[in-house]
């Protein structure tokens, strides 16, 4: 005895002749040829399987010369808490708005967690605040300046080169 394929509330089942009344019989298209390398798909088959693919919007790349580096401000926990409280929102409500757990918001507001760039963007957008500041070139150059009066390992390890230079 061969089963009958039926559709019951979106589920396809193979049932006996008596039970086929509980659903709608699904008719198989046995006469339709399958596509293969020797038999290309028919025009009808192509129309059935044709999908509309939406092109992705082209994003223009910003030249590296125009990119500016940003760093997280030191008082980000206080800024987040003040902005949330000014909106009269609880930590839980803020978490739901940005799609994060309560524990993440708590860690951010206490400074126990350093947020990722994507999290910073969500918080800035939701609370209408700025948590990043441009990196200053002055701070970087002063931080890495070589002291002129102090000895370095190179001075101690190669004292002959130091005497020749003088």
Q: What is the 3-state secondary structure (H, E, C) of 106-148?
A: HHHHHCCCCCCHHHHHHHHHHHCCCCEEECCHHHHHHHCCCCC
Give every strand in the sheet of 11-15, ordered side by side. 11-15, 4-8, 24-25
The confidence score (pLDDT) of residue 21 equals: 86
Domain-located, residue 56: no
Report CA torsion sign: 46, 47, 48, 51: positive
Domain-located, residue 45: no
In this structure, what CATH number is given to the domain that contains residue 92? 1.10.260.40
Look up residue 105 and give its two tokens: 């918001």
Domain-located, residue 79: yes
119/117 Cα distance (integer angstroms):
5
pLDDT band at 57 (very low <50, low <70, confident <90, very high): confident
Number of folded domains that form the chain: 2
Domain-located, residue 114: yes
Whose tokens are 């700025």? That residue is 130
Domain-located, residue 164: no
The confidence score (pLDDT) of residue 82 equals: 96
58-114 pLDDT tens trace: 666 655 545 568 889 999 999 999 999 999 999 999 999 999 999 999 999 999 999
The confidence score (pLDDT) of residue 141 equals: 47
- Mean pLDDT, rounded, for 11-27: 85
Q: Are 98 and 118 in contact (CB under 8 A)?
A: no
108-143 pLDDT tens trace: 999 999 999 999 999 999 999 999 988 876 554 444
33 CB-near residues (< 8 Å, 6+ apart)? 39, 42
Residue 39 has pLDDT above 90, yes or no: no
Domain-located, residue 153: no
Q: Are 26 and 49 in contact (CB under 8 A)?
A: no
Domain-located, residue 161: no
**How far, in Å, are 67, 137, 145, 164, 166 from residue 148 at the CA level?**
33, 21, 9, 17, 14
- Enclosing domain of residue 104: 73-134
Domain-located, residue 10: yes
């Amino acid at each position: 005895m061969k089963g009958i394929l039926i559709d019951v509330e979106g589920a396809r089942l193979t049932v006996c002749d008596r039970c086929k009344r509980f659903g709608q019989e699904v008719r198989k298209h046995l006469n339709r040829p399958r596509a293969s390398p020797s038999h290309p798909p028919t025009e009808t088959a192509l129309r059935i399987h044709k999908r509309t693919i939406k092109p992705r919007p082209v994003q223009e790349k910003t030249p590296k010369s125009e990119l500016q580096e940003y760093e997280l401000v030191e008082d980000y926990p206080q800024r987040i808490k003040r902005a949330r409280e000014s909106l009269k929102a609880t930590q839980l409500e803020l978490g739901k708005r940005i799609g994060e757990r309560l524990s993440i918001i708590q860690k951010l507001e206490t400074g126990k967690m350093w947020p990722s760039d994507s999290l910073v963007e969500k918080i800035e957008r939701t609370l209408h605040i700025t948590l990043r500041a441009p990196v200053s070139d002055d701070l970087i150059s002063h931080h890495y300046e070589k002291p002129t009066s102090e000895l370095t390992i190179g001075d101690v390890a190669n004292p002959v080169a130091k005497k020749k230079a003088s």
